[in-house]
Amino acid sequence: MTQATNPARVKIVGARTAFMNVFVPKAAEAGGKAKYSSAFILDPKAPYIAAIEAAIEHVAKAKWADKAPAVLKKLREDKRIGFQRGPRVNKDGEPYEGFEGMFSLNASSDAQPTLLDADRTPITKTGKLYSGCYVVANVEAWAQDNDFGRRINFTLRGLQFMKSGDAFGGGAPASEDEFEDISATEDDLVG
């Protein structure tokens, strides 16, 4: 569903996260600018797919007017849109784990996105949000046309934890509940 106040904004309910960097910004390549980011694994049959496509069309028409259909056709051919009607693939062309048969969207931001738990309390530390969990994602499409070329990108505005999922990349961090209070026995533990 798209928010009526800004047709470039899209709320994606039930996306699965991957390649998530929302607590500490990370550069995509050596020497690049560090950004907060996440990839999203999207169900091809979900209603948010139409909203994503509508946002792409909207920003393309706003940027390129009558040339928008031709520019979008070329951007799709060259895979220069942050949303792909197919899985995210590795350098060998094989889908990454979890992306098989799914669509993908990449979003990033210079500023840290809003991070909320299911009850809307702020999340300020790692653990609750991790690559593999399911979220409500708030993203905004925008058209790029500068010295770095033409693209349709997505800004990562916010994430709300929805439910746990199998973690990618070695598992989710341990929670505080997995540890005991050992402050009274600290001298006994140091050997």
Domain ranges of the chain: 9-189
Q: Encode pLDDT of 126-143 as tens digits.
A: 788 999 999 999 999 999
What percentage of the chain carries pLDDT values higher than 90?
Answer: 73
pLDDT at 180: 79
In the numeric block, which tokens belong to residue 151?
Answer: 């693209």
Contact yes or no for 72/79 (Cβ under 8 A):
no
pLDDT at 115: 97
Q: Measured between alpha carbons, how far is 155 from 6 in angstroms, rounded to an integer?
A: 13
Kindly report whether the global pTM for this prediction surpasses the value 0.85. Answer: no
In the numeric block, which tokens belong to residue 161?
Answer: 């934890």
> What band does 185 get if pLDDT is binned at 50, 70 and 90?
low
CATH topology of domain 9-189: OB fold (Dihydrolipoamide Acetyltransferase, E2P) (2.40.50)
> What band does 179 get if pLDDT is binned at 50, 70 and 90?
confident
Q: Which residues pair with 116 in a beta bridge?
A: 122, 160
70: helix, coil or strand? Answer: helix
